[in-house]
Amino acid sequence: MKKLFNRPVRIPAKQRIVTKTLFHFFAVGYLVWLFYAGINDQLGGDPVEALLNATGIMAINLLLFTLALSPLAQRLPCGDLITYRRMSGIYVFVYALMHFLTYIGFELGFDFSLIGSELLKRPYIMVGFTALIILLLLTITSVNKVRRKMGRKWQTLHNFVYLALGLAILHYTWALKTGWQSPVFYWIGAILLVLSRQRILRLLKINS
């Protein structure tokens, strides 16, 4: 594998703080702005659908970004990129949670019998909900203390992030009325990402 740089690129501590702050600013800011606009009926014809789309798509975008950090860190190489991964991953969960809350709160109007029956009866909702649960577990176990305590099991659990990615894109594909839409590109992106992980490829080869 040809690398872009001969020597590992370092990101100085100061720049790391600045870029992380910017990341927080945009990730939180976009969310706050979305809800502010939605509450004030400034999100087009149906603020609920707009919010569902925006939070859901952003969660998947962020997940792809998070998962791209590790292959990038290897190939550039720039190991410091890994320091952004947890932060970005937690925002995946935050956006997914907001997506879910928007669905049960604004779409279904906190009608708990309807929420219950939709969760149990609708495969695409179940698939999305499963992805959310995986993300929840990953978020809870992302604290350093927990990570240390879990030892090798931590990595096993966190490998499930790839399942979450597949489920999330499946959920998106399934929610639409026709198949020939943007999820096609997301599937391609996800497959490229998996193919870029040497570790996964090695695992697959051993298994086959």
Binding site for another protein (CB under 8 A): 22-23, 26-27, 29-30, 33, 35, 37-51, 53-54, 57-58, 60-62, 64-65, 68, 88, 106-109, 111, 114, 117-118, 121-124, 174-182, 184-186, 189
* 79 vs 107, beta carbon nearer another protein: 107
Q: How far is the CB of 28 from another protein (least distance, A)?
A: 11
- Give the nearer residue to another protein in terms of CB position, either 104 or 157: 104
Residue 83 vs 141, nearer CB to another protein: 83
Residue 128 tokens, joined:
């999305």
Q: How far is the CB of 126 from another protein (least distance, A)?
A: 11
* Cis peptide upstream of residue 77 (ω within 30 degrees of 0): yes
CB of 30 to another protein, least distance (A): 4
Q: What is the Cα–Cα distance from 93 to 117, expressed in whole angstroms?
A: 24
Angle formed by the axes of helices 13-39 and 47-75, nearest 10°: 170
Rank residues 20 and 147 by Cβ distance to another protein and give the closer one.
20
**CA-to-CA distance for 24 and 194, rounded, in angstroms?**
27
Residue 157 tokens read as 């659990």
Least CB distance to another protein at residue 58 (A): 7
User: 178, exposed or middle or buried, with CB in 10 Å at 0-12, 13-18, 19+?
Assistant: exposed
Q: CB of 186 within 8 A of CB of 172? A: yes
Which CB, 60 or 94, lies closer to another protein? Answer: 60
Give the contacts of 131 (CB within 8 A, at least 6 positions apart). Answer: 96, 163, 164, 167, 168, 171
